[in-house]
Amino acid sequence: MRKQVSSLVIRRLLIALITLVIVSFAVFFATALLPGDTATILLGQSATPEAIEGLRNAMHLNDPAILRFLRWIGGLFRGDFGTSYANNVPIADLIRGRFANTMKLAGLTAAVSVPLALTLGITAAIWRGTLYDRFVTVATIGIISVPEFMIATLAVLLFAVYLRWLPALSLTNEIKSFHDLLRVYAMPVVTLTFGVSAQMIRMTRAAVVETLNTPYVEMALLKGASRSRLVLKHALPNALGPIVNSVALSLSYLLGGVIIVETIFNYPGIAKLMVDAVSTRDLPLIQTCAMIFCVGYLFLITAADIIAVLSNPRLR
Protein backbone atom coordinates (compact mmCIF):
# COMPACT_ATOMS: atom_id res chain seq x y z
CA MET A 1 0.00 0.00 0.00
CA ARG A 2 2.80 2.41 0.90
CA LYS A 3 4.55 1.68 -2.39
CA GLN A 4 1.37 2.45 -4.32
CA VAL A 5 0.89 5.74 -2.45
CA SER A 6 4.55 6.65 -2.97
CA SER A 7 4.31 5.90 -6.68
CA LEU A 8 1.20 8.09 -6.98
CA VAL A 9 2.93 10.97 -5.17
CA ILE A 10 6.07 10.62 -7.29
CA ARG A 11 3.92 10.54 -10.42
CA ARG A 12 2.19 13.78 -9.39
CA LEU A 13 5.55 15.45 -8.77
CA LEU A 14 6.92 14.32 -12.14
CA ILE A 15 3.81 15.63 -13.90
CA ALA A 16 4.28 18.97 -12.14
CA LEU A 17 7.94 19.12 -13.20
CA ILE A 18 7.13 18.31 -16.83
CA THR A 19 4.34 20.88 -16.79
CA LEU A 20 6.73 23.49 -15.41
CA VAL A 21 9.18 22.86 -18.26
CA ILE A 22 6.40 23.17 -20.84
CA VAL A 23 5.11 26.34 -19.20
CA SER A 24 8.60 27.87 -19.14
CA PHE A 25 8.88 27.20 -22.88
CA ALA A 26 5.50 28.86 -23.48
CA VAL A 27 6.32 31.86 -21.26
CA PHE A 28 9.64 32.53 -22.97
CA PHE A 29 8.37 32.39 -26.52
CA ALA A 30 5.12 34.24 -25.70
CA THR A 31 7.08 37.17 -24.28
CA ALA A 32 9.42 37.05 -27.29
CA LEU A 33 6.39 37.65 -29.53
CA LEU A 34 5.46 40.91 -27.79
CA PRO A 35 5.27 43.77 -30.30
CA GLY A 36 8.07 46.32 -30.48
CA ASP A 37 11.83 46.12 -30.28
CA THR A 38 13.42 46.11 -26.81
CA ALA A 39 16.52 48.03 -27.87
CA THR A 40 14.46 50.73 -29.59
CA ILE A 41 12.18 51.14 -26.56
CA LEU A 42 15.15 51.46 -24.20
CA LEU A 43 17.14 53.91 -26.35
CA GLY A 44 14.20 55.87 -27.74
CA GLN A 45 13.06 56.66 -31.24
CA SER A 46 15.91 59.12 -31.77
CA ALA A 47 18.62 56.46 -31.38
CA THR A 48 20.76 55.68 -34.38
CA PRO A 49 20.55 52.26 -36.08
CA GLU A 50 24.17 51.59 -35.07
CA ALA A 51 23.39 52.22 -31.39
CA ILE A 52 20.30 50.03 -31.54
CA GLU A 53 22.22 47.22 -33.23
CA GLY A 54 25.03 47.50 -30.69
CA LEU A 55 22.57 47.24 -27.79
CA ARG A 56 20.90 44.24 -29.39
CA ASN A 57 24.26 42.50 -29.67
CA ALA A 58 25.14 43.39 -26.06
CA MET A 59 21.86 41.91 -24.80
CA HIS A 60 22.21 38.85 -27.09
CA LEU A 61 18.88 39.67 -28.75
CA ASN A 62 20.29 38.64 -32.13
CA ASP A 63 21.06 35.13 -30.90
CA PRO A 64 18.75 32.31 -32.01
CA ALA A 65 15.64 32.02 -29.86
CA ILE A 66 16.36 28.45 -28.77
CA LEU A 67 19.85 29.47 -27.60
CA ARG A 68 18.43 32.35 -25.56
CA PHE A 69 15.82 29.99 -24.07
CA LEU A 70 18.42 27.43 -23.01
CA ARG A 71 20.57 30.19 -21.49
CA TRP A 72 17.56 31.56 -19.60
CA ILE A 73 16.25 28.22 -18.33
CA GLY A 74 19.75 27.21 -17.27
CA GLY A 75 20.04 30.40 -15.25
CA LEU A 76 16.71 29.72 -13.55
CA PHE A 77 17.86 26.27 -12.43
CA ARG A 78 21.03 27.87 -11.01
CA GLY A 79 18.99 30.55 -9.22
CA ASP A 80 20.23 33.28 -11.58
CA PHE A 81 17.24 35.30 -12.80
CA GLY A 82 19.37 37.54 -14.98
CA THR A 83 19.57 41.32 -15.21
CA SER A 84 16.74 43.74 -15.87
CA TYR A 85 16.97 45.45 -19.25
CA ALA A 86 15.34 48.67 -18.08
CA ASN A 87 17.04 49.05 -14.67
CA ASN A 88 20.34 47.22 -15.31
CA VAL A 89 20.19 45.62 -11.87
CA PRO A 90 19.85 41.94 -10.90
CA ILE A 91 16.24 40.80 -11.13
CA ALA A 92 16.56 39.04 -7.78
CA ASP A 93 17.09 42.43 -6.12
CA LEU A 94 14.01 43.86 -7.84
CA ILE A 95 11.63 41.06 -6.89
CA ARG A 96 12.82 40.43 -3.34
CA GLY A 97 10.79 43.18 -1.67
CA ARG A 98 7.93 42.92 -4.17
CA PHE A 99 7.60 39.17 -3.56
CA ALA A 100 7.31 39.76 0.20
CA ASN A 101 4.53 42.31 -0.41
CA THR A 102 2.61 39.92 -2.67
CA MET A 103 2.93 37.11 -0.12
CA LYS A 104 1.60 39.44 2.61
CA LEU A 105 -1.42 40.29 0.49
CA ALA A 106 -2.02 36.64 -0.42
CA GLY A 107 -1.53 35.50 3.17
CA LEU A 108 -3.98 38.05 4.58
CA THR A 109 -6.52 37.15 1.91
CA ALA A 110 -6.17 33.43 2.66
CA ALA A 111 -6.46 34.07 6.41
CA VAL A 112 -9.77 35.85 5.83
CA SER A 113 -11.26 33.90 2.92
CA VAL A 114 -10.53 30.28 3.92
CA PRO A 115 -12.21 30.30 7.38
CA LEU A 116 -15.09 32.40 6.02
CA ALA A 117 -15.66 30.14 3.00
CA LEU A 118 -15.39 26.89 4.97
CA THR A 119 -17.80 28.15 7.61
CA LEU A 120 -20.40 29.30 5.08
CA GLY A 121 -19.97 26.20 2.88
CA ILE A 122 -20.26 23.71 5.73
CA THR A 123 -23.19 25.46 7.43
CA ALA A 124 -25.02 25.79 4.09
CA ALA A 125 -24.58 22.04 3.59
CA ILE A 126 -25.84 21.28 7.10
CA TRP A 127 -28.97 23.40 6.64
CA ARG A 128 -29.42 22.68 2.95
CA GLY A 129 -32.80 23.56 1.52
CA THR A 130 -33.39 26.28 4.11
CA LEU A 131 -33.63 30.02 3.51
CA TYR A 132 -30.07 30.40 4.81
CA ASP A 133 -28.77 27.89 2.25
CA ARG A 134 -30.61 29.62 -0.58
CA PHE A 135 -29.28 33.02 0.47
CA VAL A 136 -25.67 31.75 0.55
CA THR A 137 -26.11 30.04 -2.83
CA VAL A 138 -27.60 33.11 -4.52
CA ALA A 139 -24.98 35.40 -2.97
CA THR A 140 -22.06 33.23 -4.13
CA ILE A 141 -23.46 32.99 -7.67
CA GLY A 142 -23.90 36.75 -7.75
CA ILE A 143 -20.33 37.36 -6.54
CA ILE A 144 -18.85 34.92 -9.05
CA SER A 145 -20.70 36.75 -11.83
CA VAL A 146 -19.00 40.07 -11.01
CA PRO A 147 -15.38 40.41 -12.25
CA GLU A 148 -12.74 41.44 -9.74
CA PHE A 149 -11.86 44.68 -11.49
CA MET A 150 -15.51 45.75 -11.11
CA ILE A 151 -15.50 44.93 -7.38
CA ALA A 152 -12.23 46.86 -6.94
CA THR A 153 -13.55 49.86 -8.88
CA LEU A 154 -16.80 49.97 -6.89
CA ALA A 155 -14.82 49.68 -3.64
CA VAL A 156 -12.66 52.66 -4.62
CA LEU A 157 -15.68 54.74 -5.60
CA LEU A 158 -17.59 53.93 -2.41
CA PHE A 159 -14.94 53.84 0.34
CA ALA A 160 -12.29 56.18 -1.10
CA VAL A 161 -14.19 58.74 -3.19
CA TYR A 162 -17.61 59.11 -1.55
CA LEU A 163 -17.13 58.00 2.06
CA ARG A 164 -13.39 58.78 2.24
CA TRP A 165 -12.82 56.06 4.81
CA LEU A 166 -9.96 54.33 3.02
CA PRO A 167 -7.11 55.41 0.72
CA ALA A 168 -7.56 54.76 -2.98
CA LEU A 169 -3.96 53.56 -3.30
CA SER A 170 -2.42 50.82 -1.14
CA LEU A 171 1.02 52.27 -0.38
CA THR A 172 2.87 50.04 2.09
CA ASN A 173 5.44 52.71 2.96
CA GLU A 174 2.68 54.64 4.73
CA ILE A 175 2.08 51.90 7.30
CA LYS A 176 3.12 53.21 10.72
CA SER A 177 0.60 51.43 12.98
CA PHE A 178 -1.93 48.61 13.04
CA HIS A 179 -4.63 51.08 12.05
CA ASP A 180 -2.63 52.06 8.97
CA LEU A 181 -2.19 48.37 8.15
CA LEU A 182 -5.96 47.86 8.16
CA ARG A 183 -6.54 50.94 6.03
CA VAL A 184 -3.95 49.99 3.40
CA TYR A 185 -4.93 46.33 3.07
CA ALA A 186 -8.69 46.60 3.60
CA MET A 187 -9.86 47.11 0.01
CA PRO A 188 -7.34 44.78 -1.73
CA VAL A 189 -8.06 41.96 0.75
CA VAL A 190 -11.83 42.41 0.56
CA THR A 191 -11.73 42.47 -3.26
CA LEU A 192 -9.69 39.27 -3.45
CA THR A 193 -11.77 37.62 -0.72
CA PHE A 194 -14.95 38.11 -2.72
CA GLY A 195 -13.47 36.40 -5.77
CA VAL A 196 -11.72 33.56 -3.92
CA SER A 197 -14.27 32.65 -1.24
CA ALA A 198 -17.32 32.47 -3.53
CA GLN A 199 -16.00 29.52 -5.51
CA MET A 200 -14.65 27.90 -2.36
CA ILE A 201 -18.06 28.11 -0.68
CA ARG A 202 -19.78 26.35 -3.57
CA MET A 203 -17.20 23.56 -3.80
CA THR A 204 -17.10 23.02 -0.02
CA ARG A 205 -20.90 22.86 0.18
CA ALA A 206 -21.03 20.36 -2.69
CA ALA A 207 -18.38 18.12 -1.07
CA VAL A 208 -20.11 18.07 2.32
CA VAL A 209 -23.58 17.51 0.80
CA GLU A 210 -22.26 14.57 -1.22
CA THR A 211 -20.74 13.04 1.91
CA LEU A 212 -23.91 13.59 3.94
CA ASN A 213 -25.86 11.60 1.32
CA THR A 214 -23.67 8.49 1.70
CA PRO A 215 -25.17 5.32 3.29
CA TYR A 216 -22.92 5.30 6.36
CA VAL A 217 -23.95 8.87 7.28
CA GLU A 218 -27.62 7.95 6.81
CA MET A 219 -27.06 4.93 9.05
CA ALA A 220 -25.52 7.14 11.73
CA LEU A 221 -28.54 9.43 11.44
CA LEU A 222 -30.90 6.48 11.92
CA LYS A 223 -28.97 5.51 15.03
CA GLY A 224 -29.76 8.88 16.55
CA ALA A 225 -26.51 10.78 15.96
CA SER A 226 -26.82 14.53 16.34
CA ARG A 227 -26.37 16.85 13.37
CA SER A 228 -23.09 18.24 14.71
CA ARG A 229 -21.72 14.72 15.27
CA LEU A 230 -22.74 13.69 11.74
CA VAL A 231 -20.82 16.58 10.24
CA LEU A 232 -17.77 16.69 12.48
CA LYS A 233 -17.13 12.96 12.93
CA HIS A 234 -18.58 11.33 9.81
CA ALA A 235 -18.89 13.86 6.98
CA LEU A 236 -15.91 16.22 7.32
CA PRO A 237 -13.14 13.57 7.61
CA ASN A 238 -14.36 11.90 4.43
CA ALA A 239 -14.89 15.19 2.61
CA LEU A 240 -11.40 16.44 3.52
CA GLY A 241 -9.93 15.59 0.11
CA PRO A 242 -12.50 17.52 -1.97
CA ILE A 243 -12.44 20.41 0.50
CA VAL A 244 -8.64 20.68 0.33
CA ASN A 245 -8.91 20.55 -3.46
CA SER A 246 -11.45 23.38 -3.41
CA VAL A 247 -9.23 25.48 -1.14
CA ALA A 248 -6.15 24.92 -3.33
CA LEU A 249 -8.04 25.63 -6.56
CA SER A 250 -9.60 28.78 -5.12
CA LEU A 251 -6.25 30.03 -3.82
CA SER A 252 -4.74 29.37 -7.24
CA TYR A 253 -7.34 31.75 -8.69
CA LEU A 254 -5.94 34.27 -6.20
CA LEU A 255 -2.77 34.47 -8.30
CA GLY A 256 -4.72 35.81 -11.25
CA GLY A 257 -6.73 38.22 -9.14
CA VAL A 258 -3.58 39.65 -7.60
CA ILE A 259 -2.57 41.04 -11.01
CA ILE A 260 -5.80 43.04 -11.29
CA VAL A 261 -5.87 44.17 -7.66
CA GLU A 262 -2.23 45.27 -7.50
CA THR A 263 -2.65 47.28 -10.69
CA ILE A 264 -5.86 49.04 -9.61
CA PHE A 265 -4.66 49.86 -6.09
CA ASN A 266 -1.04 50.52 -7.18
CA TYR A 267 0.10 47.91 -4.67
CA PRO A 268 3.90 47.32 -4.86
CA GLY A 269 3.90 43.59 -5.52
CA ILE A 270 5.16 41.11 -8.10
CA ALA A 271 2.12 41.53 -10.33
CA LYS A 272 2.48 45.32 -10.48
CA LEU A 273 6.18 44.87 -11.24
CA MET A 274 5.33 42.55 -14.13
CA VAL A 275 2.75 44.97 -15.55
CA ASP A 276 5.30 47.80 -15.42
CA ALA A 277 7.89 45.55 -17.11
CA VAL A 278 5.51 44.95 -20.02
CA SER A 279 5.39 48.69 -20.78
CA THR A 280 9.21 48.84 -21.00
CA ARG A 281 9.44 45.41 -22.68
CA ASP A 282 11.81 44.19 -19.98
CA LEU A 283 11.70 40.57 -21.14
CA PRO A 284 13.82 38.89 -18.39
CA LEU A 285 11.74 40.59 -15.69
CA ILE A 286 8.44 39.65 -17.35
CA GLN A 287 9.55 36.03 -17.74
CA THR A 288 10.75 35.76 -14.13
CA CYS A 289 7.53 37.22 -12.69
CA ALA A 290 5.41 34.95 -14.91
CA MET A 291 7.39 31.89 -13.78
CA ILE A 292 6.88 32.84 -10.12
CA PHE A 293 3.11 32.81 -10.66
CA CYS A 294 3.32 29.52 -12.59
CA VAL A 295 5.36 27.87 -9.84
CA GLY A 296 2.87 29.07 -7.21
CA TYR A 297 -0.07 27.74 -9.22
CA LEU A 298 1.57 24.34 -9.83
CA PHE A 299 2.57 24.08 -6.17
CA LEU A 300 -1.01 24.61 -5.00
CA ILE A 301 -2.49 22.19 -7.54
CA THR A 302 0.12 19.50 -6.88
CA ALA A 303 -0.25 19.85 -3.11
CA ALA A 304 -4.01 19.48 -3.46
CA ASP A 305 -3.62 16.32 -5.55
CA ILE A 306 -1.19 14.76 -3.07
CA ILE A 307 -3.35 15.62 -0.05
CA ALA A 308 -6.40 14.21 -1.85
CA VAL A 309 -4.55 10.94 -2.47
CA LEU A 310 -3.32 10.67 1.13
CA SER A 311 -6.67 11.56 2.70
CA ASN A 312 -8.97 9.39 0.53
CA PRO A 313 -8.74 5.61 1.01
CA ARG A 314 -10.48 4.99 -2.32
CA LEU A 315 -7.80 6.93 -4.23
CA ARG A 316 -5.07 5.10 -2.35
User: Mean pLDDT over residues 248-253, rounded?
Assistant: 75
Asked whether the predicted pLDDT for residue 104 surpasses 80, the reply is yes
Q: In this predicted model, what pLDDT tens digit does every residue of 155-169 receive, in sequence order? A: 888 888 888 888 877
If you average pLDDT over residues 250-267, what whole number do you get?
Answer: 79
Domain 2-34+81-311 has CATH 1.20.1270.10: no
Q: What is the pLDDT of residue 135?
A: 92
Q: Could you give the CA distance from residue 158 to residue 169 in angstroms, rounded to a whole number?
A: 14
Ramachandran area for residue 68 (φ above 0: left; ψ -120 to 50: alpha; else beta): alpha
Lowest mean pLDDT of 45-49, 109-113, 119-123, 137-141, name the range.
45-49
Q: From CA 132, how far away is CA 72, in angstroms rounded?
A: 54
Domain boundaries, the chain: 2-34+81-311
> Each residue of 32-62: pLDDT tens digit?
776 666 777 667 667 777 777 777 777 777 7
Whether 309 contacts 294, CB under 8 Å: no
pLDDT at residue 2 above 70? no
- Give me the amino acid identity at 37: D
Other Cβ atoms within 10 Å of 59 Cβ, number: 17
pLDDT > 70: percent of the chain = 86
3-state secondary structure 245-311: HHHHHHHHHHHHHHHHHHHHCCCCCHHHHHHHHHHHCCHHHHHHHHHHHHHHHHHHHHHHHHHHHHH
pLDDT at 278: 81
Distance of CA 189 to the CA centre of its chain: 13
Residue 198 to residues 66, 227, 251, 289, 295, Cα–Cα distance (Å):
42, 25, 11, 27, 24
Q: Transcribe 146-208 into DSSP letters.
A: S-HHHHHHHHIIIIIIIS--S-SS--GGG--SHHHHHHHHHHHHHHHHHHHHHHHHHHHHHHH
Residue 226 buriedness (CB in 10 A; 0-12 / 13-18 / 19+): exposed
